[in-house]
């Protein structure tokens, strides 16, 4: 049965704020709570990226065994989605054989995630994950590193809770001029469907790719970096109102949208 875990981390009266986040970030997303699943709303591109990210999640070990707490045949393999938001990743994990856990700061988003393929969620600071070392088979973090003051502390936490032999998948916006042009100047200002709200991104928080790889390596994960871009035909049809989702395709360039995948030693 899906469940909402105990709230973790500080909760000052009147506002949500955990060090490492922009002060208005969570309140901004709470204001969009009803739009997580709007295919033409400001969060729609997060769903496109989630689908692409899921393609890198391996199927769970068929011999994972039986979970005595939940019954015969229940999957033991565990996947953690960090900054899971409203659960856009969940539907793309169906059939892969994992118990799916989510962490986010937004309580309204976590309630959405529970209705979209997540087995359990927790409200927590992603720089201090409330899980034991080496407790997940797959750890994913999509489109969140570029919203925190210390993304590399988050990467260290992702690696900490990942078991040896497990898969780490992260995607983020790199600290390049073209990423700033595309993600802020164009995406936040050109009046097109799927446009993120103005102020969603702060270019000063965009992530250095070399340091991302170096920090992951220092914690036992050798990341392979690749880029993602919208499939052009899908995007044109989406703009014309003839398609509700845009597929993302992997590319060599990581200068606009960067995805890293690796296995922990």
- CATH code for the domain in which residue 125 is found: 3.40.50.150
Give Cα separations from 112 to 5, 9, 32, 116, 204 (angstroms): 14, 20, 12, 7, 30
User: Pairing mode, if any, of strands 99-104 and 248-251?
Assistant: unpaired
| Sign of the four-CA dihedral 33, 249, 207, 116 | positive
pLDDT of the residue at 71? 46
Task: Report how far residue 241's alpha carbon sits from residue 215's, in angstroms, rounded to the nearest whole number.
Answer: 42
pLDDT of residue 70: 46
State the total domains in the chain: 1
The pLDDT score that the predictor gives to residue 62 is 46
CA–centroid distance for 32 within its chain: 17
* Range(s) of the domain holding residue 139: 3-263
Are 178 and 117 in contact by the 8 Å Cβ rule? The answer is: no
Q: What is the mean pLDDT of each run of 10 residues along the chain (265 residues)?
A: 40 32 57 88 96 97 48 73 96 96 94 96 95 98 95 98 98 98 97 93 96 98 98 98 97 98 98
* Pair 124, 130: CB distance under 8 Å: yes
DSSP sequence for the chain: --EEPPP-S---TTS---TTB-TTHHHHHHTTGGGTT-TTSTTHHHHHHHHHHHTTSPPPPTT---BTTTBTT----EEEEET-TTTTTGGGGTTS--EEEEEES-HHHHHHHHTTT-SEEEE--TTS-SS-TT-EEEEEEES-GGGBS-HHHHHHHHHHHEEEEEEEEEEE-BS-HHHHIIIIIITTTS--TTPPPTTS--GGGPBPHHHHHHHHHHTTB-PEEEEEEE-HHHHHHHHTTS-S---EEEES--SSSEEEEEEB-
pLDDT at 230 (0 to 100): 98
């Amino acid at each position: 049965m899906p469940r909402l875990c105990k709230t973790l981390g500080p909760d000052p009266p009147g506002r949500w704020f955990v060090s490492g986040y922009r002060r208005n970030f969570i309140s901004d997303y709470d204001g969009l709570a009803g739009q997580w699943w709007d295919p033409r709303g400001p969060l729609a591109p997060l769903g496109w990226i989630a689908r692409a990210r899921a393609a890198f999640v391996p199927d769970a070990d068929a011999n994972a065994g039986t979970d005595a707490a939940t019954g015969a045949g229940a999957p033991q393999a565990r996947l953690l989605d960090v900054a899971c938001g409203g659960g856009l990743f969940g539907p793309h994990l169906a059939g892969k054989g994992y118990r799916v856990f989510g962490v986010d700061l937004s309580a309204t988003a976590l309630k959405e995630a529970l209705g979209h393929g997540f087995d359990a969620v927790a409200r927590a600071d992603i720089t201090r994950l409330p899980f034991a070392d080496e407790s997940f088979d797959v750890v994913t973090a999509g489109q969140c590193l570029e919203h925190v003051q210390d993304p590399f502390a988050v990467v260290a936490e992702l690696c900490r809770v990942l078991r040896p032999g497990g898969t780490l998948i992260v995607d983020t916006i790199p600290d390049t001029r073209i990423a700033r042009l595309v993600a802020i100047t164009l995406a936040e200002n050109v009046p097109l469907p799927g446009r993120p709200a103005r102020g969603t991104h702060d270019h000063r928080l965009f992530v250095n790719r070399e340091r991302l790889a170096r920090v992951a390596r220092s914690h036992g994960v050798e990341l392979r970096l690749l880029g993602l871009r919208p499939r052009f035909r899908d995007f044109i049809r989406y703009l014309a109102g003839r398609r509700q989702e845009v597929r993302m395709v992997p590319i060599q360039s990581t200068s606009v949208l960067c995805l890293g995948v690796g296995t922990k030693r």
